[in-house]
Amino acid sequence: MDKNLALAFLAVFVAACYYGMTRTSKGIHIPIRRVPGLDAIEEAIGRATEMGRASLFIIPSGGFDAQAFAAFDILGYVARQSAKYDTRIIVVNGLPEAHAISQEVVRQAYLAEGREDKYDPNDLLFLSGGFNAGVLGIYEREKIGANFLFGSFYFESLTLAEAGSRTGAIQVAGTANTHQLPFLVAACDYTLIGEEIYAAGTYLSRNGAQIGSLIAQEIGKYVSIGVMLIGSLYLTMTSPAVRSLAGKP
């Protein structure tokens, strides 16, 4: 039963994606609300450039999941901005798979901006078990003007964000790990919450087909809200308290 429901929901979701992509391909403009965190990325890199400092991009060791892919999208954008402004970017990865991919993402970003000569693979670091200590060391040694933390964070989120705030860097963070969101919100200037990190690639690229999937997300949310309301009403109406009020056994 659970699998059938999941399959039905997936089918609805795919249909909604197709519907969204069809609408956007017809040139219909779909407004997307502002995400201050993503808008702040360019400002953060600009500020780092003015101060003559580097940007630091952190992809944690939490897990190679959808959040890591979302982080790559944002990394590509940050790397392109850094290449454009000729700002040094240091990328720290906690996962070996992410390290291999981020090397390619950053290299392609520099290539796209015609600044391949400025790409320095020594600025892309893989820190495994000593991730926390390694990043804290980078904060001390390098002068960081902008700090970006995106991905699947666990306990290290507050340590990195709070220590990052001491450097005076502008901090933009994002995670879908609900247990770390309060820490990042408290310590960072801008935080992307949950689904905002997954929409980042679409938001930054404004690709029509991708925006179609955002429409599917919205439809999915309305379906979830509808199901929750129906379920809540049903449980309330059939609860012993309400039934006794209605004089039913």
Partner 1 sequence: MRRTVPLLVGFISGAIVVAKYFIANKALSTWGTNVISWRNIVAAFALGVGSINLIQTHLRKMARKERGWDASILLLISLVGFTVIGIAKGTTNPIYKWGFDYLYQPIYSAISSLLAFMITSASYRAFKVKDWQSAVLTVTAVIVMLGAVGVGSLLYKGIPRWSQWIMDVVNTAGMRGITIGGALGAVALSLRVLLGLERGYLGGER
Partner 2 sequence: MPWYMRIQSISKTAIWVALVVAFAIPLIHPLGMPLNITSATTAAYNLIDSLPAGSIVFQSIGFNPAVDAECWPQMVAISRHFMSKNLKVIYYPYMQEGGMYAERIKDSVAGDYGYEYGKDYVILPFKAGGETAIAGMKDFYTLFNTDVSGNSIKDMPIFQGFRGMQDVAAIVPVTGSDDPVYYVRYIEPVYHTPIVACGTAPLLPVIGPFVASKQIKSTVIGLSGAAEYEILAKVPGSATGAMDAQSMGHMLIVLLVALGNIGLFFQKRAQKAAGVTSNG
Rg (CA), the chain: 22
The window from 24-32, 33-41, 71-79, 234-242 that contacts partner 1 (CB under 8 A) reads: 71-79
Residues 220-249 that bind partner 1 (CB under 8 A): 220-221, 224
27 Ramachandran zone, left/alpha/beta (phi>0; psi -120 to 50):
left
Contact 167, 147 (CB under 8 A): yes
Q: How far is the CB of 134 from partner 2 (least distance, A)?
A: 14
CA distance 33 to 19: 20
CB nearer to partner 2: give 65 or 116.
65
Name residue 54's beta-bridge partners: 144
Nearest distance, CB of residue 72 and partner 1, angstroms: 4
CA distance 102 to 109: 10
Closer CB to partner 2, residue 179 or residue 206?
Answer: 179
Which of 29, 33, 178, 240 contacts partner 2 by CB under 8 A? Answer: 178
Helix boundaries (H) for 26-122: 36-51, 66-85, 96-112
From 52, 96, 179, 239, residue interacting with partner 2 (rule: CB under 8 A): 179
Q: Does 4 bind partner 2 (CB under 8 A)?
A: no
Nearer to partner 1, 30 or 163 (CB): 163
Residue 199 in contact with partner 1, rule: CB under 8 A: yes
Let me know how long the chain is.
Answer: 249
Cα–Cα dist 183/29, whole Å: 36
**How far apart are CB 4 and partner 1 at their closest, in Å?**
9
Residue 173: C-alpha distances to residues 31, 151, 249 (Å): 24, 9, 54
Of residues 132 through 151, those in contact with partner 1 by CB under 8 A are: 132-133, 136-137, 141
The residues of the shown chain that bind partner 2, judged by CB under 8 A, are 2, 63, 65, 132, 154-156, 166, 177-180
